[in-house]
Structure 1
Amino acid sequence: MIWVELLIVLLFILIGARMGGIGIGYAGGAGVIVLTMVFGLEAGSIPVDVILIIMSVIAAIAAMQNAGGLDYLVHVTEKILRKNPKRVTFLAPLVTYFMTLLSGTGHTVYAALPVITEVSKEGNVRPSKPLSISVIASQIAITASPISAAVVIFADYLEPLGVSYLQLLAVAIPTTFLAVMGSAFIANLMEKPLDQDPVYLKREAKGLVKHLDKKDHKDSKSAKFSVGIFLAAIIIVVAYATLTSENIGIITNVTISRNQAIIAIMLLTAAVIALVCKIDIGKVTSMSTFKSGMSACVCVLGVAWLGDTFVSNHIEEIKEAAGGLLNSYSWLLAVILFFASMLLYSQAATTVALMPAALSLGVSPVAAIASFAAVSALFVLPTYPTLIAAVEMDDTGTTKIGKYVFNHSFLIPGIITIALSVVFGFVIGGLIL
């Protein structure tokens, strides 16, 4: 029956992917009903901490967006990119990587996509190159962000094995950063300049390509304050998590756990931004980041619960079938995570569903951390919101989804980035841990 139940899991994930957006969460819940009531499995654990961390971080980011903080960051991004338009393939993913690293969500990339597209045109660079690697950078940076749910939960799994939160970041940040820059270098070598692209030339002749005028932006003090407050909160989160780590043990009488502290600090951050910047609280829930974040919570709830229901009921069979193979070829974990995240559509959901099982099978912490970036294969199916947004923003026609579905602009850069990150992870992880 295990194979029938696995097919049920995959079926509902595919149904959810077909529905798109929040639909994958709906389908996950429906799958739990079928597995428990039809096949008699016990319901798995609901990833409460993951959902609460996402909610609290998004609450703070939405408050910052309401105060103009995201617009301020985009204006800073625009200045950086316009100074070096011919190097946009390197600078754009650098910007989106750090936006995600600091915010804990890849949905902040939406605001930067129009800027990247316009600067690419100015530098005679095919927008598909910087846009594709920028979207990939915004996804893989989740596995290095100090406040992302995936990293925080993964750190919980690693601490009993002697790996601290700070050690996880010390491996994850440089490996993912180097992978993004390596992929950008490769992307820069690919394809011809924009003015030699036949699709662009046809669209330009038909007047379908817009060329926007440069505008002067005036950023309010509240916008700058909101960004400063949010960055200060991230520093506090990292400091608290480090000081309370069992491996460091500077603070031993811990009255609030790391996960609870992150939730509380993010809510406090939102309150401080609201008071200092005098934002309209009623408009926070209408912010684009809030809508995207809450949608992500439902998705994680459904698919992670579905995945855990299947895995927790068959953990012994999984250990017997995969234990020896993963111990002998630990890099296979990256392959498993890659294909799982392709379907689960969430780094946090994939981490919750598979990492505990992998570690219980005896996979070493080094191998688990090195493979961690593979939970970011959200680009394989061309239906992820940031990917679709990048295609829609590029009016030159160079960023596209092919008629065979998988032949889209993001697949090769994404695979290269994850592969490089895994390789770097084994090297750097072996040196640090």
Structure 2
Amino acid sequence: MIWLHLLVVLGAIFLGARLGGIAIGFAGGLGVLVLAALGVTPGDMPLDVISIIMSVICAIAAMQMAGGMDYLVGLAEKILRRNPKHLTFLAPVITYLMTFMAGTGHTAFSTMPVITEVAKENNIRPSRPLSVAVVASQIAITASPISAAVVFFASVLEPEGVGYLELLAIAIPSTFLACMLTAGVMMAIDRMNPHSALEHDPVYQERLARGAVRLRGEQVTQLRSGARTSVLIFLVGLLAVMSYATAISDKVGLVTEPVMGRDQAIIAFMLTIAAAIVVLCKVHPSDILGAPTFKSGMSASICVLGVAWLGTTFVTAHRETIEGFAGGVLQDQPWMLAVVLFFAAALLYSQAATAKALMPTALLLGVAPAAAVAAFPAVSALFVLPTYPTLLAAVEMDDTGSTRIGKYVFNHPFLLPGVLAITFAVILGFLIGGVVL
């Protein structure tokens, strides 16, 4: 029956990918229903992960409606325009840091127009900085102290003797350095290609000839009075979350009997941040419901709910079979876990959903905690199929046509930098983990 159940899971995932957007979550729920009809007991619902995502999105959306996102994008634009020659390096730095701070890769949407315009103005194909920036925004999820994927993974690692701080100590440098190495490789490829400049792109020339490409120039946005205050409130809240998580850590032991667990603390702090921004920055609560980040974040929550629940249901039902088949392989070759996570993430469309579905089983199979931490960045392989929202947004925002999806689907500009970034991050994870753990 395992093959029939696997067929149901894959069928639901492919249906969701075909429909796109929030329908991925709907298809996950359909898959659970079909499995239940076949006699499979549904697994645990990922309500802990969903709760964290929703609370973080509320804080981000409140900051956006207060003008905080406009303020951050304005800073990013100034940095990029002052250093256009280093755009391929600076673009992923900015998207990485915004995701690291916010715990969601959807913040990349706001920086894509800036990256595109600076590239056009300097005869750089926007596809290069955009592709690396999108990959950086995805992989940074595995290093963000408030992302649902990191918080969940930390909770399953702690019984294995690896704490929240140790996870971050490995994940942050390994993923950031991986993004920079990827940017360096992509720049080297461009320099070896005499026709890499934007002016040599035939699609761009065709669009330019018919007036479909425009330069908007540097934008001056009138900031709301509470824009800077909202960013400050969010940063203070982020530091509070990290400080509390540090204080209650078994490794530090400042608070031996905490009133709140880490998950509860993150949810409480994020909702408090949203409340503080609403009060101090005079944001109307109803406006938050219409914020772009709120809509995309809630859509992501439904996707995680359906897909992670489907994955957990299948894995739980066939745990013994999976252990017998994969246990020995993963123990002897722990790097194979990164390969498994890579392909699972390409189908599950969520770092949190992939971690929730597979990481506990991997540890039960005997994968060493250090190897699991090193493989963790592979849950960010959301770029394989060119249907993820940030990837599609990059394609749509590049009016030069250089960021395009080929007729063979997989020949798109995000695949190579994505594979490189995850490969570098996993290798660095093993190296840094050997020192930290």
* Structure 1: distance between partners of 2:169 and 2:217: 42
2:187 aligned residue: 188
Q: Greater shift after overlay, 237-246 or 344-353?
A: 237-246
2:388 aligned residue: 384
Deviation at 1:372, TM superposition (A): 0.4
1:215 aligns with 2:214: no
Letter in 2 for 1:212: R
* Structure 1: distance between partners of 2:219 and 2:431: 45
Q: Percent identity?
A: 60
Residue 200 (structure 1) aligned to one of 176, 200, 204: 204
Summarize the Cα distance change of 1:34–1:215 in structure 2 as closer, same or farther, 3 Å threshold: closer
1:267 aligns with 2:266: no
1:36 aligned residue: 36
1:18-50, CA deviations, whole angstroms, 9 ceiling, x for partnerless residues?
11011111011111111112x211110001110
1:131 aligned residue: 130
Q: Is the 8 A contact 1:163 1:247 kept in 2?
A: no
2:290 aligned residue: 286
Q: Is the 8 A contact 2:70 2:221 kept in 1?
A: no
Q: Is the 8 A contact 1:25 1:301 kept in 2?
A: yes
Deviation at 1:342, TM superposition (A): 0.4
1:297 aligned residue: 301
1:237 aligned residue: 241
Deviation at 1:243, TM superposition (A): 0.8
Which SS does the other structure have where 1:41 is aligned? Answer: coil
1:43-62, CA deviations, whole angstroms, 9 ceiling, x for partnerless residues?
10001110000000000000
* Structure 2: distance between partners of 1:62 and 1:212: 26
Deviation at 1:186, TM superposition (A): 1.1
* Structure 2: distance between partners of 1:197 and 1:349: 38
* Structure 1: distance between partners of 2:39 and 2:319: 16
Which SS does the other structure have where 1:250 is aligned? Answer: coil
2:54 aligned residue: 55
* Structure 2: distance between partners of 1:360 and 1:190: 42
1:227 aligns with 2:231: yes
2:4 aligned residue: 4
* Structure 2: distance between partners of 1:120 and 1:188: 13
1:89 aligned residue: 88
Deviation at 1:132, TM superposition (A): 0.3
* Structure 1: distance between partners of 2:188 and 2:205: 21
1:20 aligned residue: 20
Q: Is the 8 A contact 2:145 2:151 kept in 1?
A: yes
* Structure 2: distance between partners of 1:293 and 1:134: 19
2:168 aligned residue: 169
Which SS does the other structure have where 1:43 is aligned? Answer: coil
Provide structure 2 residue ranges, at least 5 long, that are not aligned to the other structure: 191-195
Residue correspondence of structure 1 range 101-116 to structure 2 within 5 A: 101-116=100-115
1:336 aligned residue: 340
1:225-260, CA deviations, whole angstroms, 9 ceiling, x for partnerless residues?
000100111111111111101222110121111100
Q: Is the 8 A contact 1:86 1:124 kept in 2?
A: no
* Structure 2: distance between partners of 1:285 and 1:214: 29
Deviation at 1:195, TM superposition (A): 2.0
1:248 aligns with 2:252: yes
Deviation at 1:215, TM superposition (A): 3.2
Deviation at 1:214, TM superposition (A): 2.3
1:372-426, CA deviations, whole angstroms, 9 ceiling, x for partnerless residues?
0000111100000100100011111111100110101101110111111001010
Q: Is the 8 A contact 1:162 1:247 kept in 2?
A: no
- Give the TM-score normalised by the residue count of structure 2: 0.98
Q: Is the 8 A contact 1:5 1:310 kept in 2?
A: yes
2:193 aligned residue: none
* Structure 2: distance between partners of 1:250 and 1:362: 31
* Structure 1: distance between partners of 2:182 and 2:245: 31
Letter in 1 for 2:375: S
Which SS does the other structure have where 2:226 is aligned? Answer: helix
* Structure 2: distance between partners of 1:133 and 1:380: 14
* Structure 1: distance between partners of 2:52 and 2:177: 27
Provide structure 1 residue ranges, at least 5 long, that are not aligned to the other structure: none
* Structure 2: distance between partners of 1:52 and 1:224: 27
Deviation at 1:166, TM superposition (A): 0.6
2:72 aligned residue: 73
Q: Greater shift after overlay, 365-374 or 190-199?
A: 190-199
* Structure 2: distance between partners of 1:138 and 1:262: 21
Deviation at 1:219, TM superposition (A): 2.9
Q: Greater shift after overlay, 335-344 or 203-212?
A: 203-212
Letter in 2 for 1:45: D
Q: Is the 8 A contact 2:65 2:283 kept in 1?
A: yes
* Structure 2: distance between partners of 1:310 and 1:418: 26
* Structure 2: distance between partners of 1:217 and 1:55: 28
1:403 aligned residue: 407
Deviation at 1:14, TM superposition (A): 0.7
Q: Is the 8 A contact 1:86 1:120 kept in 2?
A: no
Letter in 2 for 1:10: L
Deviation at 1:10, TM superposition (A): 0.8
Letter in 2 for 1:380: V
* Structure 2: distance between partners of 1:208 and 1:407: 24
* Structure 1: distance between partners of 2:407 and 2:222: 43
1:293-322, CA deviations, whole angstroms, 9 ceiling, x for partnerless residues?
100111111011111111111111111111
Which SS does the other structure have where 1:286 is aligned? Answer: coil
Letter in 1 for 2:90: L
Letter in 1 for 2:55: S
